[in-house]
Every structure is written in structure tokens, then in C-alpha cells.
Amino acid sequence: MSTVTRDRPGTTQDPRRSTTGPPVEAARAARGCVIAVLQRIVEVLDGRRPSDHLSPVVTVEVFEQIAVALRRREDDVARAPVRGPAVRLRRVHLQMVSLRAANYFGTVERGARTRAVAGRVELRTVRSPGRQAVERWMLTEFAIL
């Protein structure tokens, strides 16, 4: 049996659907990570940031995928330099799969052209040389469509 409480006249709140607590905090942290990392990726692909800035926040597979895209971009730029407006991250949506993983999707745009981005972010234990192991949200999958 579920208990429903009234906060204000005409509204009800199910206590199982809290707006605070671990699930909401995990979703906020994951979304914050996704926005920050996607912004970095967009800046790297646009040539405004070095790719080394991605290594602490993406997996090796995602880093290699972006490196391949950069090599293709450099070949294209050598033939016809890219000019015009910078790429901008427009929207990001997140669907939590568990407290330690979420799928994301969103849009980026350059001028009048809009493209979709999608992938996965996971909470992983990361060990850096000379530092203690920490848990950090990392992009584990990435695609621009």
C-alpha cells in the first residue's frame, strides 16, 4: 500500500518519488559530467582545445575514436580549411540506467547545421600514478550522428 501526501491544495506527492537523495544526486552528477565532457569534445573537434584534455574523462576507446576523427578533420582541413561559426553544445538529456551508469543524448550545432550526439557515461574507479583511487564519471561511449 502506497501513502500519498498532500503538500499544497490540489497537489499530491508520492514519497517514493523523492526529488533528493542518492538517485537524484547521481543523475545530477552524471549530467554535469556529460555536459562538461561533451563541451570539451566539441572544443577538441573544433580545434579550440588540445585532445590531451580529454584523457582524464573518457575511456581509451572513446579517446581513440576522437583521435581518428581529428585525423580525418586534419586531412579535410589541409584540403579546405574550416571557417565559420564554432560548434556549440545545445541540449543534453540523460536517462539513468543505474546509480552507476546513464545513457545520454543531445544536440550540437554549427551555424544552421544540427547534429545529434549520444552515448553512455559510467561511474568508474580511476587510479592515477601517485594518487589514491577515486570514483569518477567517465564517458564510455560516444557518437555524433
pLDDT at 126: 85
pLDDT at 56: 86
Report the percentage of the chain scoring pLDDT > 90. Answer: 46
* Alpha-carbon span 9 to 41, nearest angstrom: 47
Say what the pTM is: 0.76
Q: How would you classify residue 111: left for phi > 0, otherwise alpha for psi between -120 and 50, otherwise beta?
A: left
* Alpha-carbon span 34 to 72, nearest angstrom: 24
CB 119 within 8 A of CB 104: yes
| 71-101 confidence digits (pLDDT tens) | 887 655 544 455 678 888 999 999 999 999 9
Pull the grid cell for residue 141: 561511449
Encoded amino acid at 83, one letter? R
Encoded amino acid at 99, one letter? L
Cell 590531451 belongs to residue: 52
Q: How would you classify residue 2: left for phi > 0, otherwise alpha for psi between -120 and 50, otherwise beta?
A: beta
